[in-house]
Amino acid sequence: MQISARGDYAVRAALSLATAYPALLSTQAIAAEQDMPRKFLEAVLADLRRAGIVRAQRGAEGGYALARPPRDITIGQILRAVDGPLAGVRGLRPEETQYAGAAENLPRLWVAVRAAVRQVVDEVSLAEMASGKLPGHVRKLIARPDAWEPR
């Protein structure tokens, strides 16, 4: 799975908002804390607002806040809001792929890959991520000897 810059920035911005929840944060404050370009952050926050993940308040005391408590927002929801579906194969959803011959079973593998990704990003909330208290099945994955090795 490849996490885009947009997805990475969206999750980081949402984590900043989670730690401040329910208070508002300005784009300038988030950009400074997370070392992000402000203009790009504004575009990412607009995507999150359209998805109902954040809310915006205009004015001198304005800014952004999460639209729901951090425990009710998953990392997967954020990634989908800015990048669309989590797993795609040449622009298709895994279940939409079709192959002949030796590759005929490949769609099952692509569906399994998507399910594995969902098992992590859809089961970790902003609250868990911000506190560092990840679910047990995610902690087990991180603890595997090869988890931190590049391949």
Q: What is the pLDDT of residues 136-149, one digit of tens each?
A: 999 999 999 999 99
Is this model's pTM higher than 0.75 or not? yes
Cβ-based neighbour number of residue 22 at 10 Å: 11
- What architecture is domain 5-143? Orthogonal Bundle (1.10)
Residues 6+ apart with CB under 8 A from 1: 86, 87, 113, 117
Half-sphere CA count of 66, side-chain side, radius 13 A: 25
Contact between 34 and 40 (Cβ < 8 Å): no
pLDDT in tens, 10-67: 999 999 999 999 999 999 999 999 999 999 999 999 999 999 999 999 988 889 999 9
